[in-house]
Chains A and B, each alone.
Chain A
Amino acid sequence: MRRDRTPLALGAIFLAIVAAGPFLPPWLLFILTLAVARGLVALGLMLLLRAGLVSFGQALYFCIGAYTAGGLGIRFGVSDVLLQALAGAAVAALVAWVLGFLLARYRGIFFGLLSLALSMILYGVIVKSEALGSTDGLNVLPSTLFGVKPHEGWVRYSVLVAASGAALIAALLVHRYLATPLGRLAAAIKDNEIRVEYMGASARHAIHVKYVIAATLAGMGGALAATTVGHIDPDMAYWTTSGEFIFVTILAGTGSVIAPFLGALIFGAIHTVAYDLSPNTWQMSLGAALLALILFLPDGVWSLFARRKAA
């Protein structure tokens, strides 16, 4: 049997970030941290995609996570990055557990549009709510870690390390989950749900579990994005945000738990370069990149690695 190298690779990437971080410019630290946050959301979408489900509304949980983190800071003065991330994940998980009873009944386009609708409801609520900052959004408290306020100039690095640590643990847990019978049921559900039922398993339950895991990851990603950017606004729940997450997930491919983070990094890079070159038409570059990807790498960037391994 082939040895499982994923945990080792994840650990190595984490150590590389910790070691290289102090030497990187702040803007790159910012891009890396956002990639980690977005990667968490994409990791959750990957779980759903493996079961054949595309959520067009993952921004719902991203936004819930972000506003939970922001609210903790503004209302209760909790500015600890990891506490905020945990709280964001927990609130998202709770909401997903409730909504999951409804969503796990639907497949295909109905699942996608229902999730989209739910995220747009949240968008509408925030836009109309003065207490939540309406369209202007709210500023988030400066981040602290374990009760300590990092020195000026080290804040970005501390947040990156905390986010990477949280993402490392999340990715390891998801990796283990994928190897369990429940995790492996995803491909079977995608292929033939009737057969799954006739083998004595509940596809609906399996999808509900995946949906909650995906939301937990998105909530954590949202909380981390909030502290990184220092600002939250209703656009975090908007459908274009959900679209970006799907973009990242497809860009990455579903081959490994590392892929979503790589995808998020590439997305961040394309975004940054395109925006720098042409601030008004950066979406066009993004669209062209996605088009090229679907044509040349339909199984995502990760298929490059998978192919090399097979060779």
Chain B
Amino acid sequence: MAAILDAQGLHKSFGAVTAADGISAAIERDSVVGLIGTNGAGKTTFINMITGYLKPDRGRIHYEGRDITELAPRDITRLGICRSFQIPQLYASLTAFENMMVGVGVVLRNAGLGGFFSRGRPLVPGHSVPPEDAAERILERFGLAEYRNKNAQVLPGGVRKLLDIALTMVAKPRILLLDEPTSGVSAEEKFAIMEMIMKAVRAEGATVLFVEHDMEVVSRFAGRVLAFYDGRIIADGPPGTVLNDPEVKRFVVGGELHRLDEAQGRARA
């Protein structure tokens, strides 16, 4: 299968700290890839390099055969690579609906529609409906219709998370990068959120990379797992193989379990 995204030998260091030490991965079209690893292993650095927020010191990134290594975040977004954030990045003073309308407006503008001299109500590219309808539809798809007129800053954590992801879906991404989509969300909500994302993604047809700490979520939703450790990918394959890899068990999953034990120990004490 053809790779939609191909990262080759990405290096990135901040002073003495090496955040990425030769990361290479080819991502196949329409695949769902889970990125795992302890904090500081390089997962978010990897995502930041793909989206253009960080420029790698060495290495190239190709998207559909095109070199995007030097492009700015907004240009990469315009090509169809969209990201969500670990801490939701919303327009706090605007309602959920207005948040979506900002996104819809940007899509219109980038398509050369909705300018000062345009007349009538244009159809949103990729959605084939007028702007307001496109915004409503995405809100509905993510179960956010009831929060339509609430300001983003007063929404509960899980809802903010969903709104953040819904915002990334407005531009009809070809590649969706989700940075810890279920962090800060209760265990019961995690699966519901992932189900909703996957349903939306299946309907739109996008490739997904998601950072996740919950191995249950990873094994359930990812078709392929990249395990990060110390700025490198130490294992790459189907979840069953990667999660049982001795190195991964020791450095990644073990690390997680160890921390979990610690936390429980503290709670008991």
Give the contacting residue for B109; candidates A181, A187, A194, A197; CB below 8 A: A181
Q: Does B218 contact A (CB under 8 A)?
A: no
A181-B114, A191-B93 known; A198-B82 Cβ under 8 A: yes
Cβ contact within 8 Å between A197 and B74? yes
Chain B residues, Cβ within 8 Å of A188:
91, 94, 102
CA of A199 to CA of B106, assembled, Å: 7
Chain B residues, Cβ within 8 Å of A198:
51, 73-74, 77, 82-83, 89
| B contact residues, total (Cβ < 8 Å) | 32
Q: Which residue of B lies closest to A195 (CB)?
A: B89
| A163-184 interface code vs B (CB 8 A; 1 in, 0 out) | 0000000000000110011101
Q: How far is the CB of B17 from chain A (nearest CB, A)?
A: 23
A180-B116, A195-B167 known; A200-B105 Cβ under 8 A: no
Q: Does A190 contact B (CB under 8 A)?
A: yes
Contact residues, B81-122 vs A (CB, 8 A): 82-83, 89-94, 98, 101-110, 114-116
Q: Does B68 contact A (CB under 8 A)?
A: no
Chain B residues, Cβ within 8 Å of A200:
74-75, 77-78, 106-107, 110, 171
Most chain A beta carbons < 10 A, residue from B73, B104, B116:
B116
Give the contacting residue for A192; candidates B92, B108, B109, B171; CB below 8 A: B92
Q: Does A135 contact B (CB under 8 A)?
A: no
Q: Which residue of A lies closest to B94 (CB)?
A: A187
Q: Which residue of A lies closest to B113 (CB)?
A: A181
Q: Does B170 contact A (CB under 8 A)?
A: yes
Residues of B within 8 A of A (CB): 51, 72-75, 77-78, 82-83, 89-94, 98, 101-110, 114-116, 167, 170-171
Q: Which 7 residue pairs are nearest across A and B when measured between Cβ atoms? A: A181-B105, A200-B77, A191-B91, A195-B89, A188-B102, A201-B106, A200-B78
Instruction: List 18 other contacts, CB 8 Å, given A182-B116, A197-B73, A198-B89.
Output: A177-B116, A181-B114, A184-B105, A187-B91, A187-B98, A191-B94, A192-B92, A196-B106, A197-B74, A198-B77, A198-B83, A199-B74, A199-B106, A200-B77, A200-B110, A200-B171, A201-B106, A201-B110
Residues of A within 8 A of B (CB): 176-177, 180-182, 184-185, 187-188, 190-192, 194-202
